[in-house]
Structure 1
Amino acid sequence: MIKETVTRQATGVKPAILFIGSQMATGGAQRVLLDQAAWFYEHGYHVTAAFLYDQEGVHQVWQEIYPFPLVNLNICPPGGRTNPLRTFSGLPRIYRFLRNHRFDIIETFSHYANLLVLPLAWMASVPVRVGSHHGREANFPNLLNRLHSFIISSSITTCMVAVSQQVSSYAALEENIREDKIIVIPNGIQAADNRLLAPSQPVALRAELGLQPGAHLVCSVGYLTEQKGHRFLLEAIPLVIQKYPGTIFAIAGDGPLLKELKGQAEALNLAGAVIFLGNHSNVADLLSLADIFVLPSLWEGLPIALLEAMGAGVAVVASQVDGVEELIVDNQTGLLVPPSDSQALSQAILRLLEEPEFRVNLGQQGKWLVEKEFNQDQMCNLYRNLFENLLEGRQ
């Protein structure tokens, strides 16, 4: 396969790249994968995107959106849970897929994809095998964590990309991954769509959310799991609406804690103040109305939801964790609060509601930072340079 790669380069044909993640679902890692695949496709590369299974039954919808092949390797039924027997029975199918398509480069996008696919790519003689690390993997068994570290640190993996300096340090110090195998490439997003909404759209959105004239909108976007810390946001709301009645808190996203969080909101008497939107079809429109974005996470890599909010010029309040600190300079590009601290969340939100000029300036500074240092072109050019250098080293 290396000979074929050299032949392609000699004839000016760009490499074939496979981007592969664990599950088809709404999430930051999936967004990075698809955006990166689209960028390389637009720049003339032979691109395929694949996932181990379709968690939310979105394969057909996604394939209609993207012009490159999108493959469901189907090691688990839609909406189901993986099990060891089905996972292992799917490995030969993944190997044949890799062997038959003769990719030059593979990039994996989660601990599970690193663990399962990189050894198969090595066995299938894919020349360049790049893992990635987007932050701590929740409930990842210790045995699998040790195996993952071995796979990344060995010759099975060419290198691993960490999405922030904090993630890189965590991988080296806590997961014992060889430092010389780790390369930091921060996440990046496309420039925010600065088009004006049609006159009817803000009115319709405000009506949908129940926003009264002059009322404030605070939003949060993320998968509803323990990691994302939404319960601390809910605990922070009573103090805010006591001072600013009519403020709406919109939480976009789905996940296993949805029922529990709705129960918590009811117990806190937050009816009318909190709206659970599920997987919202257009987060950009939601951000266009938002006064404040809150990320109450307990840990993060370099969160796409936060990048998108800052890129849209929305003032942000976020937990002082991991890669978040590489995005937010406290009181300059956002407000940082200790994780799991509902009181601090309340006070930060109240400060931004009480100081509109400061809030607007905070949003503008955050937008400038994202456009300058965390844009998609910058991220993908770094990946392109990495891929090309690694391919040249394999000749």
Structure 2
Amino acid sequence: MHVVCHVITKLELGGAQEVAMQVVAGFDRRRFRPVLLAGPGGQLIADAHALEGVEVGTIPSLVREIRPLQDLRALWELVGAFRRLRPKIVHTHSSKAGILGRLAAWLAGVPCILHTIHGYGVTPAQPFWQQKALIALEWMVGRITTHWIAVSQADRRQGIEWGLFTASKVSVVRPGIDPTAFAARIESPERDRLRAMLGVAPDQLLVGTVSCLKPQKSPEDFVRVAALVCQRVPAARCVLVGDGALRPKVEALLLAQGLQDRVTLLGWRRDVAALLKAFDVFVLTSQWEGLPCAILEARASRIPIVATRVGGAAEAIVEGIQGTLCPAGDVRAMAERVCQILEDERFRADLRAGTQELPEEFTIQETLKQYQSLYAYLLHATRPSEDVMKLQPNRL
């Protein structure tokens, strides 16, 4: 049985975190012994420790912010953990854990080192010099990476363009979800009851989003879209599910726009599958992405989607069928499309009543299947011959 360590910076509510947890929970225990390592804190810590048969460890110094001395401690904490666990595979997620985790795995002599790109840490908001520095750092750590995984074809193409890897060293594996709860039907009386709990009357229309309140997701743009929509459609109400560092800015913008009675901040919720069934339109205003699981959840819930054309968003929905995509930051274009959908009752009803299922490639079952197949292939490909093993000392 091979030990497989997944490493992520923080177990907060997010697509990458939930994918990592579902994957380690679903491993074939006859072949793999799963371990999940993460920095301290996060809303999913208790959920992680509740995973049956999964060893969960905390790396105290592993934090998202760049702190050189603390990052060095985190590196050696990871090296120590890998030397104790002796994994055959280390699989990292997110930018900080990706850099430190892969370097630590190499120092500890781990034979297979993988990294999943859930969107790059290189973003449009960064100055040019910082972008170049981060690309160079990814390139250097890439030299010790056995294989890369991209969640979208867009990220795969970008990595090849930057020279981070060749086409043979990267696979596209989607960040799947379990669509069961999202695809479940809901009767009209139950939907009306759920909407009433959100303060939405039967004759009103609900526009919502689910995202962390951080720069990547641009929640201020959601408020600006909401302002334009509410101005044009008097029956419109909006909800924002999520929380984060930008909450004070979002609250101030709501006050400045006079939207306190039209837009509700729900904070973090664990009943997202139910809440989505109350939405008439789902909106995602991200500035950059890998492939957002929130779009997959909305698609599985049969809700019209208006999102920004970033990362793999165009690979997750069919334009004009499940929704539409607009340029990042184009608030007016997004608001216009939301209003068109709100004014098209038949389109909304037809989509909600439709039978189209989420494609298998976007399910967590397929993600798990592809990960395990890739692991088996890489373990076989990196297995040294008996003659070589006799000549090499144990690197651990």
- Shorter-chain TM-score: which interval? 0.7 to 0.9
Residue number in structure 2 paired with 1:10:
none
Query: Is 1:248 paired with 2:237?
Result: yes
- Within 5 A, what are the aligned runs for 1:189-228? 189-193=177-181, 194-195=183-184, 202=191, 205-228=194-217
Residue number in structure 2 paired with 1:105:
89
Answer whether contact 1:217 1:289 (CA < 8 A) is retained.
yes
1:229 partner letter:
S
Q: Which secondary structure state, in structure 1, belongs to the residue aligned with residue 201 of structure 2?
A: coil
Residue number in structure 2 paired with 1:7:
none
Q: Which secondary structure state, in structure 2, belongs to the residue aligned with residue 289 of structure 1?
A: coil
Residue number in structure 2 paired with 1:70:
56
Q: Which secondary structure state, in structure 1, belongs to the residue aligned with residue 379 of structure 2?
A: helix
Aligned equivalents of 1:244, 1:39: Cα separation in 2: 45
Q: Which secondary structure state, in structure 1, belongs to the residue aligned with residue 120 of structure 2?
A: coil
Assess, with a 3 A threshold, how the Cα gap between structure 1 residues 206 and 44 changes in structure 2: closer, same or farther: farther
Count of residue pairs the alignment pairs up: 376
- Within 5 A, what are the aligned runs for 1:261-300? 261-300=250-289
Return the offset for 1:236. 1.9
Answer whether contact 2:21 2:48 (CA < 8 A) is retained.
no
Aligned equivalents of 1:369, 1:133: Cα separation in 2: 26
Residue number in structure 2 paired with 1:116:
100
Return the offset for 1:174. 3.4
Residue number in structure 1 paired with 2:369:
381
Assess, with a 3 A threshold, how the Cα gap between structure 1 residues 195 and 166 changes in structure 2: closer, same or farther: closer
Return the offset for 1:128. 1.3
Residue number in structure 1 paired with 2:133:
143
Identity of aligned residues (%): 27
Aligned equivalents of 2:51, 2:192: Cα separation in 1: 28
Assess, with a 3 A threshold, how the Cα gap between structure 1 residues 316 and 69 changes in structure 2: closer, same or farther: same
Return the offset for 1:265. 1.2
Assess, with a 3 A threshold, how the Cα gap between structure 1 residues 377 and 75 changes in structure 2: closer, same or farther: same
Answer whether contact 1:41 1:68 (CA < 8 A) is retained.
no
1:29 partner letter:
A
Assess, with a 3 A threshold, how the Cα gap between structure 1 residues 54 and 226 changes in structure 2: closer, same or farther: same
Assess, with a 3 A threshold, how the Cα gap between structure 1 residues 203 and 330 changes in structure 2: closer, same or farther: closer
1:271 partner letter:
Q
- Within 5 A, what are the aligned runs for 1:125-144? 125-137=109-121, 138=123, 139=126, 142-144=132-134
Assess, with a 3 A threshold, how the Cα gap between structure 1 residues 76 and 320 changes in structure 2: closer, same or farther: closer
Return the offset for 1:197. 6.5
Q: Deviations over 1:181-204 (max 9, x none)?
A: 222112211123155669997566
Assess, with a 3 A threshold, how the Cα gap between structure 1 residues 374 and 56 changes in structure 2: closer, same or farther: closer
Aligned equivalents of 2:353, 2:371: Cα separation in 1: 28
Query: Is 1:48 paired with 2:47?
Result: no
- Within 5 A, what are the aligned runs for 1:17-96? 17-40=4-27, 45-51=32-38, 53-56=39-42, 58-64=44-50, 67-76=53-62, 81=65, 83-96=67-80
Assess, with a 3 A threshold, how the Cα gap between structure 1 residues 265 and 175 changes in structure 2: closer, same or farther: farther
Q: Which secondary structure state, in structure 2, belongs to the residue aligned with residue 286 of structure 1?
A: helix
Q: Which secondary structure state, in structure 2, belongs to the residue aligned with residue 298 of structure 1?
A: coil
Answer whether contact 2:82 2:108 (CA < 8 A) is retained.
yes
The TM-score with structure 2 as length reference comes to: 0.87
2:365 partner letter:
D
Aligned equivalents of 2:204, 2:327: Cα separation in 1: 27
Instruction: For structure 2, list consecutive stretches of 5 or more residues without a partner in the other structure.
Output: 384-396
Q: Which secondary structure state, in structure 2, belongs to the residue aligned with residue 23 of structure 1?
A: coil
Aligned equivalents of 1:371, 1:102: Cα separation in 2: 37
Instruction: For structure 1, list consecutive stretches of 5 or more residues without a partner in the other structure.
Output: 1-13
Aligned equivalents of 1:222, 1:20: Cα separation in 2: 22
Residue number in structure 1 paired with 2:392:
none
Return the offset for 1:41. 5.3
The TM-score with structure 1 as length reference comes to: 0.87
Residue number in structure 2 paired with 1:4:
none
Residue number in structure 2 paired with 1:11:
none
Match of 1:239 among 228, 245, 252: 228
